[in-house]
């Protein structure tokens, strides 16, 4: 009997740590479920047409939403539409430069950048000397320069936002996607068709590094953790790559949904977001440490919700999306036609807890 009791105690002792570990893991999963993100609001935006980036001017609490030939401007707190910048040509990126009290919008179809007054929401001028299909753009406070990434010509157009003058053109090559600046003189841009991220010295206006991203393919979305010098790259082959921003080394990859276009990072919560349009999910990845991450959630949003912006004060995420009709048949004039957006279906999704 004593022998049996001793064996039983030994067995229970060996099982206890495993049970404790399972219990701790279960409690962690329960906490994350309780803190899960969800769609809080759907804001209807009038008009038809395609869409691309969203941009949040956090100090002004204004959300700029690209929408075909216009930009809708929303109160980021209430969701009310407070203005529209119209008469544009294939809007992609939007940025506000606080030092100059100016805003800038890339026009992919006309190859120009529209300058506007953020207070009046009126266009004031147009910059014409850009490359082919200007797409994303980012302001670098260290050099006080605006960097425009031209998707189809592989060039970066450098603009002085104080004078609206193009001061330089950098030939990077490839299909340029999203870019980020760290405010310390470094700018990064994804090169989608070359599976690399390129680093630019914003003061010398020179390429200071080319970093291959394998196994990441077709990099589009890009976010930056300036504190830990880490880049988060949304990849077309359903993964997010964590990259050392200084060395260019790929540290790890994590699974996300297909069709990502927008990637962003909330430094306060440590959450990285990837908007995956092909399956309509928002991938949430948590940063446990500089080189340690885990997938927290894959939130169902809406098919083709592929770009996003974050309000780091309220920790809400904004995504834009519309419903589409049948894809037209290819023609000589348009060999790769896109399906039309259905009238009255364009919305901004507000995600939070």
For residue 305, what is the domain's CATH number? 2.130.10.10
154: number of Cβ within 10 Å:
19
Q: Examine residue 8 and state whether it is found in any structural domain, yes or no.
A: no
Task: Specify the number of domains making up the chain.
Answer: 1
39: number of Cβ within 10 Å:
17
Q: Examine residue 276 and state whether it is found in any structural domain, yes or no.
A: yes
Residues in the chain: 353
Q: Examine residue 344 and state whether it is found in any structural domain, yes or no.
A: no
Question: If you write DSSP's letter for every residue of 267-295 in order, what string do you get?
Answer: TTTTEEEEEETTTTEEEEEEEEETTEEEE
Which pLDDT score, from 0 to 100, does residue 127 have?
97
Q: What does R_g of the chain's alpha carbons equal in angstroms?
A: 23
Residue 209 has φ and ψ, to the nearest 5°, of: 180, 145
Q: Examine residue 217 and state whether it is found in any structural domain, yes or no.
A: yes
Question: If you write DSSP's letter for every residue of 218-245 in order, what string do you get?
Answer: SEEEEEEETTTTEEEEEETTTEEEEEET
Region for 259 from its dihedrals, namely left if φ exceeds 0, alpha if ψ lies in -120 to 50, beta otherwise: left
Task: Give every CB contact of residue 88 below 8 A, 6+ residues apart in sequence.
Answer: 69, 70, 71, 105, 107, 114
Residues 163 and 41: their CA atoms lie apart, in Å, by: 40
Domain membership of residue 114 as a residue range: 36-326
**Tokens representing 25?**
């893991």
Identify the bridge partners of residue 108 per DSSP, sorted by sequence position. Answer: none
Q: Examine residue 24 and state whether it is found in any structural domain, yes or no.
A: no
One pLDDT digit (tens) per residue for the chain, 353 residues: 554 455 444 444 555 555 555 455 544 554 554 479 999 999 999 988 889 999 999 999 999 999 999 999 999 999 999 999 999 999 999 999 999 999 999 999 999 999 999 999 999 999 998 899 999 999 999 999 999 999 999 999 999 999 999 999 999 999 999 999 999 999 999 999 999 999 999 999 999 999 999 999 999 999 999 999 999 999 999 999 999 999 999 999 999 999 999 999 999 999 999 999 999 999 999 999 999 999 999 999 999 999 999 999 999 999 999 998 888 888 887 877 888 888 889 999 999 99
Q: Examine residue 14 and state whether it is found in any structural domain, yes or no.
A: no
Q: Examine residue 334 and state whether it is found in any structural domain, yes or no.
A: no
Q: Examine residue 228 and state whether it is found in any structural domain, yes or no.
A: yes
67: number of Cβ within 10 Å:
26
Which pLDDT score, from 0 to 100, does residue 335 have?
79
Task: Give every CB contact of residue 229 below 8 A, 6+ residues apart in sequence.
Answer: 182, 244, 245, 246
Residue 32 has φ and ψ, to the nearest 5°, of: -65, -35
Q: How buried is residue 10: exposed, middle or buried, by Cβ count under 10 Å (0-12/13-18/19+)?
A: exposed
pTM score = 0.89
- Strands 176-181, 186-191: pairing kind: antiparallel
């Amino acid at each position: 009997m004593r022998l049996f009791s001793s064996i039983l105690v030994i067995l229970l002792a060996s099982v206890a740590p495993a049970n404790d570990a399972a219990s701790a893991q279960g409690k962690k999963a329960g906490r994350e479920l309780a803190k899960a993100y969800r769609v809080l609001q759907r804001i209807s935006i009038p008009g038809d047409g395609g869409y691309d980036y969203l941009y949040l001017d956090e100090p002004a609490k204004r959300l700029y939403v690209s929408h075909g030939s216009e930009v809708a401007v929303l109160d980021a707190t209430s969701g009310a539409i407070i203005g529209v910048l119209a008469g544009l040509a294939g809007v992609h990126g939007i940025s506000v430069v606080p030092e100059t009290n100016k805003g800038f919008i890339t026009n992919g179809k006309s190859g120009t950048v529209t300058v506007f007054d953020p207070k009046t929401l009126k266009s004031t001028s147009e910059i014409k000397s850009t490359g082919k299909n200007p797409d994303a753009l980012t302001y670098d406070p260290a050099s006080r320069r605006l960097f425009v990434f031209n998707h189809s010509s592989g060039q970066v157009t450098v603009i002085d936002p104080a004078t609206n003058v193009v001061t330089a053109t950098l030939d990077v090559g490839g299909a340029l996607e999203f870019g980020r600046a760290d405010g310390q003189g470094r700018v990064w841009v994804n090169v989608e068709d070359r599976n690399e991220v390129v680093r630019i010295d914003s003061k010398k206006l020179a390429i200071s590094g080319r970093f291959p991203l394998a196994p990441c393919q077709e990099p589009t979305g890009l976010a930056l953790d300036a504190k830990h010098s880490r880049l988060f790259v949304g990849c077309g082959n359903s993964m997010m790559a964590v990259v050392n921003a200084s060395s260019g080394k790929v540290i790890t990859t994590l699974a996300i949904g297909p069709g990502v276009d927008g990637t962003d990072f909330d430094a306060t919560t440590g959450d990285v977001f990837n908007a995956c349009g092909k399956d309509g999910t928002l991938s949430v990845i948590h940063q446990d440490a500089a080189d340690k991450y885990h997938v927290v959630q894959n939130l169902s949003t809406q098919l083709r919700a592929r770009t996003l912006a974050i309000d780091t004060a309220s920790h809400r995420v904004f995504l834009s999306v519309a419903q589409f009709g049948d894809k037209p048949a290819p023609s000589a004039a348009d060999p790769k036609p896109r399906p039309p957006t259905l009238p009255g279906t364009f919305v901004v999704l507000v995600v939070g807890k």
